[in-house]
Structure 1
Amino acid sequence: MYKTMFGASGFRKGMDLYFQRHDGQAVTCEDFYAAMCDANNAHLPNFLQWYSQAGTPTVKVTSSYDEGSQAFSLKLSQEVPPTPGQPMKEPMFIPVAVGLVDSTGKDMPLTSIYSDGMVQTLSNDGHPIFTTVLQFKKKEEEFIFKNVPERPVPSLLRGYSAPIRLDSDLTESDLYFLLANDSDEFNRWEAGQILARKLMFSLVADFQQQKTLALNTKFVDGLRAILQSTSLDKEFIAKAITLPGQGEIMDMMSIADPDAVHAVRTFIKKELAFQLKDDLLAAVTSNRSSEAYAFDHDSVARRALKNTCLAYLASLNEPDVTELALNEYKSATNMTEQFAALAALSQNPGQVREDALLDFYNKWQQDYLVVSKWFALQATSDIPGNVVNVQKLLAHPAFDMRNPNKVYSLIGGFCGSPVSFHAKDGSGYKFLGEVVLQLDKINPQVSLTVIAK
């Protein structure tokens, strides 16, 4: 948040002063705060509440536009939930980075803001400003942007400028618009995640009522546009097309339904793979490389996008895709891509899966950490009846119940698979109970850790 408020150069000035004052000393958060403020000649009232007040603030935002005065208003209110020992909370100092997006998808230049009886003129040495940071310090505040020629779509909390929960009045259409146009990659990703969660909750309700599942075409088109973009960072594309996890969705449900969430997420993944197959195949092909492994951003981004697209395609369980994944596995020049191809092949039961898993183990059996990844990959699989496979792996020569990391990879990994662990027949719970009884005799601390996770 300091960097958000002071910028990169201001943050560096604060760091330099902090080390100048305190290098080699045992100091406090207050000392760091003082260095940041002194270096930037700033005063941040109630900012230290972040260090002394428990709980995550929820910020509600409502917007309105007055065409006659060309003024766009954002009304913000904050609430910090009561926590043990702190039933009453004071307002926090929350930096909210904001931009306004016009109807063509372009950022609007910001000229002035009216708040708390004062007008602040925004300038940057004559250059236009497209993002500003609102200093939200009270329980409720209103910020009015002047000289706004049309009603914009607000891009709120850009760059995740504060660790809060945001509750805004953005409509579903606004979210699709931001998904397609926002220049801030975090907000573009967040818009997609919100839409995906809404879609998943809606389909879970349909599944529970035994209705036919159908995918929103606007959601498909939104992801297609991102996938086809030549200007977006490839690592961002990989993250933007990734669906929220099953655990995340279940955590947000009043009564978790693992089977329904798994069925819905599987449906969405397969349907996206089917409708976007050509684009996904093109992404795999265009991001394939035979060059030596390199650890730089472009290479990491290329691998991330290729591997994400391959995982989508593998959900189709079609012969041409299986052949593609097998070729990627055999031709991989590094662990990242080979393991990703193995994970794709492991999505579907069959001889190809078993052969690939055996080949990988034979190749890497001398590497302790890689074998742990190999165990975890199989343990977390959603293939039907996976508890039987995990039980067999307990007898594998590379598994040792006395080794905590092997236990966490195999048994902990299995418990982290919602569909397998929470199987309706109770087989997942029974398996864990039996293993914990064995484990408790060997290492009670590890058995406790497995249960706690």
Structure 2
Amino acid sequence: MARLIIPCRSSSLARFNLLGLLSHAPVPVRSASLPFRNSAKRLTQYRPFLTSEVTCLRKNRFLSHSVDRYKQKSRKLICSVATESVPDKAEESIMDAPKEIFLKDYTKPDYYFETVDLSFSLGEEKTIVSSKIKVLPRVKGSSAALVLDGHDLKLLSVKVQGKLLKEGDYQLDSRHLTLPSLPAEESFVLEIDTEIYPHKNTSLDGLYKSSGNFCTQCEAEGFRKITFYQDRPDIMAKYTCRVEADKTLYPVLLSNGNLTSQGDTEGGRHYALWEDPFKKPCYLFALVAGQLASRDDTFTTRSGRQVSLKIWTPAEDLPKTAHAMYSLKAAMKWDEDVFGLEYDLDLFNVVAVPDFNMGAMENKSLNIFNSKLVLASPETATDADYAAILGVIGHEYFHNWTGNRVTCRDWFQLSLKEGLTVFRDQEFSSDMGSRTVKRIADVSKLRIYQFPQDAGPMAHPVRPHSYIKMDNFYTGKFLFARNYGILL
């Protein structure tokens, strides 16, 4: 799940918990010396993963807390209907205004997507995105229209079974592409070419460019800013992704799954082809392109497979990724030992960039983080920083099974995947640190944040009956409730 980093507003030592929300209440410095209460068996079991740096930290007994990792792009709930008159110029925008979505209105999609082949030609002024989708009607012979979500896209062409559609064959507005007449077949191929402008995308949803790097953020509804698609979590498909860009400017090209081929093309450009063999919803799609360096390691699964691990950062930050790599390997082993869940691909990538404002995101096999939650060095990082990295790296990795392979039907079920994954990262941090200290910190944040919010205007159910803007789910009340296992 994406996380928003909230800066500390207190000059005193901030307290953190693994669940993510900051507390600015002062904590006595002596609390940092509370002893760990791990059993000798637990410590021995994970000792092979300890670097000298982490061993030093354990001797200093760092606390198992965490910085804020939550996405909260809008702190303001839309709770009322505006009564002011709308200016004449805004008549058209009324049609584009977000509509209230009700849980009771959920219906199964009329069409499912089996495979999605994406191709990106990254450019400085514009990017061309081509999609080739195998579409399956839910009901054989269905005559229902196929409605695709899209926002800030320039449509170049649409083809159905290889036939180029004319403007009269589809309906296009600022938020949807509707195909009213489709083949009455068991399946058909839909091809769409769009043009997007990542360098102008200041929303940081979808594909955007910042600090010289291309990056994506698709949870919850960012994929519709990349191409026309059924942007909903119950549409799960197998993806391939071909990324092409200038080799000098963007030597690293990453996406989900395993790297199947790469090479040079004309004009000083190069490409990489990625294949994800497991079905996923589009909010887990990811792409990164830029000038990055990697810390490389391997992990041998319990079945004997060797997984390549890479943590990508700007070259100057690479020395600060040792603890993040330790945390990743420890999380992979812990998930096998405690839950019997083995990683299912040959490659796991983590990207850390300074201007990823969502904190962290669990995209399948390509986790993207803000640098704050990956980088640490003994000269500048606190014990809480190290504990935060351990917890957040673990949380996003654990989503591989609880959230990615098994996901939610609709966004009203967001607390299900998040609640279970938070429980798993709480157990992980408790086993790696002090269970008692961890629990005290969690309950403290519950009292400081959730209780006051429940008594105020921001109170709302974990699973409300409706929403206008999906981002409003990501409030303190929702996060705390799901974190403490209120799964509706």
Q: Structure 1-normalised TM-score?
A: 0.31
TM-score normalised to the size of structure 2? Answer: 0.29
Q: Which has the higher strand share?
A: 2
Which of the two has higher C-alpha Rg? 1
**Higher relative contact order (CA closer than 8 Å, sequence separation 6+):** 2
